[in-house]
Amino acid sequence: MKVVLDCDNTFGIPDHDVDDGLALLYLLGCEDVELLGITCTFGNADTDTVFRNTERFVREIDRPEIPVFRGGSPDEPISPAARFLADTVAKYPGEVTLLAIGALTNLHGANLLEPLFFERVARIVIMGGITSPLLIGGQTLDELNFSCDPRAAHTVLSSPAITTVITANLCLQALFGDIEFGYLEQNRQRPVFEYLLKALYPWRDVMEQVFGLPGFYNWDTTAAVYLTDPSLFRDETYRLASTPADLETGFLKTDRPDTEGPVVNIPPAILDLKTLNGRILESWERLSSISP
């Protein structure tokens, strides 16, 4: 499976989310995934910070051969990342799956460069959007992917591409908690797990202090698992009715009364969380070249 990862990776930056990096490591551990490149967008941090951090990250995990491209902005969506996306999908029509786990600006830019972009994509798996208020530990959180560039989000969601959206609400079912940390700790002699724990323990501490969580929600990695094993989820398709104004808050409106509108798959449930987390751990375990 040919994959391009479009992400806002801040793994390794203190007090910033780790899940983009975890999703990348998951993909690298999947034997049936050929990662063609990484395009950098914004969300967890600005695009330049994400780009520099991702360049550092691929060197640190001993994968410097993976090409990394700087993305654009809502005002200037044409960028090296957008051009790479457009060129890659044109080179492999019908073969490339996009995993988009940040703002969708680069996909919008690719479509501006190549009007057949969405027709040539094999499918798109997105992490983003909400279908109801996002509550964690009694706090209501803002959506932070679609809302970063609602115009781009509307373009992607309205496209003819086969699209699955892994919402923030669904990811509240994907707790990476004590059992998973216990497995990493018990197998800490593996360099990759030692490397991960150095980043995951501080992030778990942040989640406990801010939200009282016994772990963290593995947002983007859940979308990556869907890409490789959708059987772990219950699919549900909708006629999407969201306007760009709705997407300013990331809200996915699915109650369109007529038969118009794009069809989007929005899974409402993870069928087997234990197996999902097991898939993630197994994939990371294959990364023998990473050292702490």
Among 12-26, 245-259, 261-275, name the one with the lowest average pLDDT. 245-259
Q: What is the pLDDT of residue 120?
A: 98
SS3 (DSSP) at 146: helix
- Which CATH number covers residue 22? 3.90.245.10
Residue 110 lies in a domain: yes
Residue 192 lies in a domain: yes
Q: What is the pLDDT of residues 36-80, one digit of tens each?
A: 999 999 999 999 999 999 999 999 999 999 999 999 999 999 999
State the pairing for strand pair 139-141/163-166: unpaired
Structural domain boundaries enclosing 15? 2-285
User: Measured at the alpha carbon of residue 213, what is the angle toward residues 5 and 104, in degrees to the nearest 5?
Assistant: 25
Give all strands of the β-sheet with 123-127 in edge-to-edge order. Answer: 68-70, 34-40, 2-7, 96-100, 123-127, 163-166, 263-265, 237-239
Place 257 in a pLDDT band, splitting at 50, 70 and 90: low
pLDDT(259) > 80 = no
Residue 89 lies in a domain: yes
Distance CA 126, CA 155 (A): 13
Number of neighbouring beta carbons within 10 Å of residue 182: 10
Place 287 in a pLDDT band, splitting at 50, 70 and 90: very high
Q: What is the pLDDT of residue 289?
A: 76
Residue 221 lies in a domain: yes
Place 258 in a pLDDT band, splitting at 50, 70 and 90: low
Q: What is the pLDDT of residue 256?
A: 56
Q: What is the pLDDT of residues 164-195, one digit of tens each?
A: 999 999 999 999 999 999 999 999 999 999 99
Residue 15 lies in a domain: yes
Q: What is the pLDDT of residue 209?
A: 95
Name the DSSP letter for residue 234: E
Residue 42 lies in a domain: yes
Q: What is the pLDDT of residue 123?
A: 98
Residue 291 lies in a domain: no
pLDDT(261) > 60 = yes
Number of domains in the chain: 1
What is the percent of the chain with per-residue pLDDT over 70, rounded to a whole number? 98
Q: What is the pLDDT of residues 103-131, one digit of tens each?
A: 999 999 999 999 999 999 999 999 999 99
Residue 292 lies in a domain: no
